[in-house]
């Protein structure tokens, strides 16, 4: 199982790094690249066109501002693409979000929240879990742990421990 994280700029790495941590937690092999839809369009096309042949089964595209990276990648590959809009100083990431989520018919990009790096990683794991049962098992345990954490916090508040 292999994922790819593609960033439009190295400045997106502090967000993308949180996605890497999720993938590591679940034992998903990944590669991280810097490829700009606007500054290196041929590299974006080449990466996306070769993704399936290179064993990549899901791609996370992190980008800010115009954030066309996810759409450009999705245009050249049948591999599922997850858009990770990165908050920029311009419009607090709303520009990035809208650029990713408003894709034309036939070029889907599943998009998570602005700076939603953990959810991008978790969605990638869930997509991969359709094929890899061990990931499905780990995802169920992850969700059970989250529920336990909330129940423990609730119990502490009920006891007046806050």
**Tokens for 76?**
């050249």
CB atoms within 10 A of CB 46: 13
**pLDDT tens-place string over residues 50-98:** 999 999 999 999 999 989 999 999 999 999 999 999 998 778 999 999 9
The answer for residues whose C-beta is within 8 angstroms of residue 27's C-beta and 6 or more apart is 138
Residues 20, 18, 64, CA angle at the centre, nearest 5°?
105
d(CA 89, CA 76): 30
For domain 2-131, the CATH architecture is 3-Layer(aba) Sandwich (3.40)
Residues 140, 127, 21, CA angle at the centre, nearest 5°?
70
d(CA 85, CA 110): 11
d(CA 148, CA 145): 5
Closest CA to 69 of 119, 94, 33, 105: 33
CA of residue 31 relative to chain centroid, distance: 13
| Rounded average pLDDT over 148-158 | 96
Per-domain residue ranges of the chain: 2-131, 133-162
What's 78's DSSP letter? S
**pLDDT tens-place string over residues 20-54:** 999 999 999 999 999 999 999 999 999 999 999 99
pLDDT at 66: 86
Phi then psi for residue 160, to 5 deg, are: 85, 15
pTM of this structure: 0.94
d(CA 137, CA 142): 9
């Amino acid at each position: 199982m292999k994922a790819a994280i593609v960033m439009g700029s190295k400045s997106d790495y502090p967000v993308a790094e949180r996605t890497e941590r999720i993938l590591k937690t679940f034992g998903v092999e990944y590669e991280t690249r810097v490829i700009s839809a606007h500054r290196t369009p041929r590299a974006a096309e080449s990466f996306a066109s070769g993704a399936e042949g290179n064993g990549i089964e899901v791609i996370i595209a992190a980008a800010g501002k115009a954030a066309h990276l996810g759409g450009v990648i999705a245009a050249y590959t049948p591999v599922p693409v997850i858009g990770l809009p990165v908050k920029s100083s311009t419009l607090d990431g709303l520009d990035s979000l809208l650029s990713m989520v408003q894709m034309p018919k036939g070029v889907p990009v599943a998009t998570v929240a602005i700076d939603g790096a953990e959810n991008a990683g978790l969605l990638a794991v869930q997509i991969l879990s359709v094929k890899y049962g061990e990931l499905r098992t780990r995802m169920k345990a992850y969700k059970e742990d989250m529920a336990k954490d909330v129940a423990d916090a609730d119990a502490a508040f009920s006891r007046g421990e806050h």
